[in-house]
Structure 1
Amino acid sequence: MRNASQLLRRVTAAAQTKLERRQAPVRVLATSGPLVVRLAVSEEEVHAAQRLRYTVFYEEMAATPSAEMATARRDFDRYDEFCDHLLVIDEAAETRDARVVGTYRLLRHAVAKQHGGFYSADEYDLAPLLKKAAEGLSLMELGRSCVARPYRTNATIQLLWRGITGYMFEHGVDVMFGCASLAGTDPDNLALPLSFLHHEFLAPADWRVRALDARYVPMDRMPKEEVDLKTALNALPPLIKGYLRLGAHIGDGAVVDYQFGTTDVFIILPVDRIPERYYSHFDREGVAARSRG
């Protein structure tokens, strides 16, 4: 009976999220030429983001779709119904379906608590972060990020992050986190970048999220003195390097994700670690004032 009641509450909450998304005003978070960053405001736009994810994850990369995903040609899971979907939209695109050229999935703690938790809890024990939340910090999970091939430039990535920054200020987020991936499922082939992340960026003990025991893969595969820092840094994907530049910590242990053909590491980014120069172009006071209004 309890399980039925919990399911009913989740279904009701998901339906409410869909209704709120349909009723949400179109509010632009950032622009650059014809590119606009904002949240999805309709199921159609969420589907467009899912189609982009399918193209990138399953057609360009090594992910294996379910039969249902392959038929729909969309990447989706239960979290899509209640997450916010940040979109980069090319308003000059010739067709409507080609308009969504970048996306990030955002899940705030207040929303996750209503829907059974965070996506990354399937791979990591989030207890240290949940303790921070109990102490008053506001959490947000980042995930499912991708950009269409012709738009994979620093300018597009920076535009996405301007959108995340605006969302972060609006909702008073203190800590961002999520899984980030290295291509490949053999940790021994990734010994250099994994060891580099472990030795140089391991989170302090009170922040140290750890991979679940059943999925834990040691990252310290090489002694620290054998790690060539420059070579290791060059071996990292641009997204992980970007997180590190912003001040991110790395959790304890990697996780092999065979569906996506990747080895995942855990990113922890307290907002107060982000360098002030990153905000130099952004009107934080204005965003805060508008969010209160």
Structure 2
Amino acid sequence: MPMRAIGKDMPSPAARGLETVVAPGEVLGRIGTLDVRLARDETEIAAAQEVRYRVFYDELGARGELQQRRDADHFDSICDHLLVFDTTLPGPDSCRIVGTYRLLRQEIAASAGGFYSTDEFELESLLARHSDRRFLELGRSCVLPDYRSKRTVELLWQGIWAYCRRHRIDVMTGCASFPGVFPAAHARGLSYLAHKFRAEGAWRVRAVPSRYQTMDLMPAEAIDTRAAMAELPPLIKGYMRVGARFGEGCVVDADFHTTDVFVILPVEWIAGRYINYYGADAQRFAA
């Protein structure tokens, strides 16, 4: 997706009179020496953008016209930024960020021109079919290489869950990515999602026609399930574990050098298993 300039003149959620339930800096989860909370100031958001640059640009080969070593666009000024901190690292908190997620609530997106993912997927039709639901878009997820463990992913989900409970979110959506711009290179994984995990009925979402590429690249009977799971990116497997389904068709993002799929996750699909898994910790931070 093309890079956009940072919208410095865009008012904050609080300035627009929109609800802010989770306070910046409030801890939303903890596992061992790792904490997860929202960014509390521009310094921490800038540090998260630097982490994103290291992952998306230095490691994964994204490209764009950036004046500094930060992955930034105008959505950053209206989103909440969920951050994972390693509390054992030296220096201020801005130097301890090892993972991040960007969170955009529907009411804020509506006041600022829409969701990020509408450039790739027909999200508006989904919103119209579920006008009584409150949506949250998840995006720009990344974790530094040394922290790409099940524990870090679990902590991010602990933070997301607490955030959703506090803001009464009904549905989570967003893009998730396979590396590279050739869907055929991920034929088994994409086909597995298309045949076994595609959202149906009222939850169906398609890639926009001008960017649509098929995910159904192999017949279902030809797919080795174990091999397909092994080839899926960790973030996508994480979504699958908590009950997500995926849209129809994928989109090639040449700037980020990825092949994107769309994630649909109503909260009622995950609430029971999530509470059972995280138990008292998840409830303590979601209260």
The two structures share one fold, judged by TM-score above 0.5: yes
Give me the whole-angstrom Cα distance separating, in 1, the residues matched to 2:118 and 2:203. Answer: 15
Q: What are the equivalent positions in structure 2 for 1:34-113 lying under 5 Å apart? A: 34-68=33-67, 72-96=68-92, 97-113=94-110
What amino acid does structure 1 have at the position aligned with 2:116?
A: Y
Give me the whole-angstrom Cα distance separating, in 2, the residues matched to 1:273 and 1:264. Answer: 22
> What residue is the counterpart of 1:5 in the other structure?
none
Give me the whole-angstrom Cα distance separating, in 1, the residues matched to 2:81 and 2:204. Answer: 27
Q: 1:13 to 1:90 in 2, by over 3 A?
A: closer
Q: What are the equivalent positions in structure 2 for 1:132-281 lying under 5 Å apart? A: 132-134=129-131, 136-274=132-270, 276-280=272-276, 281=278
SS state at 2:10 partner = helix
Structure 2 regions of 5+ residues with no counterpart? 1-6
RMSD: 2.3
Alpha-carbon offset, residue 24 of structure 1: 4.6
Aligned residues: 274
Give me the whole-angstrom Cα distance separating, in 1, the residues matched to 2:66 and 2:274. Answer: 42
SS state at 1:44 partner = helix
Give me the whole-angstrom Cα distance separating, in 2, the residues matched to 1:254 and 1:100. Answer: 31
SS state at 1:170 partner = helix
Please, which of 114, 118, 134 is the counterpart of residue 117 of structure 1? 114
Alpha-carbon offset, residue 205 of structure 1: 2.4
Q: Deviations over 1:74-131 (max 9, x none)?
A: 0001100000000111222113343111110000101100100000001011133212
SS state at 1:260 partner = coil
Aligned residues of 1:31 and 1:159 also touching (Cα < 8 A) = yes
Aligned residues of 2:10 and 2:77 also touching (Cα < 8 A) = no
Please identify the structure whose Cα radius of gyration is greater: 1
Query: Normalised by the size of structure 1, how large is the TM-score?
Result: 0.87
> What residue is the counterpart of 1:16 in the other structure?
15
Q: Percent identity?
A: 49
Q: 1:108 to 1:282 in 2, by over 3 A?
A: farther
Alpha-carbon offset, residue 224 of structure 1: 1.6
Alpha-carbon offset, residue 15 of structure 1: 8.5
Question: Relative to total residues, which structure has the larger helix share, 1 or 2?
Answer: 1
Structure 1 regions of 5+ residues with no counterpart? 1-7
What amino acid does structure 2 have at the position aligned with 1:276?
A: G
Higher RCO (C-alpha 8 Å, min separation 6): 2
Query: Normalised by the size of structure 2, how large is the TM-score?
Result: 0.89
Alpha-carbon offset, residue 286 of structure 1: 6.0
SS state at 1:111 partner = helix
Q: Which deviates more, 97-106 or 44-53?
A: 97-106
Aligned residues of 1:125 and 1:211 also touching (Cα < 8 A) = yes
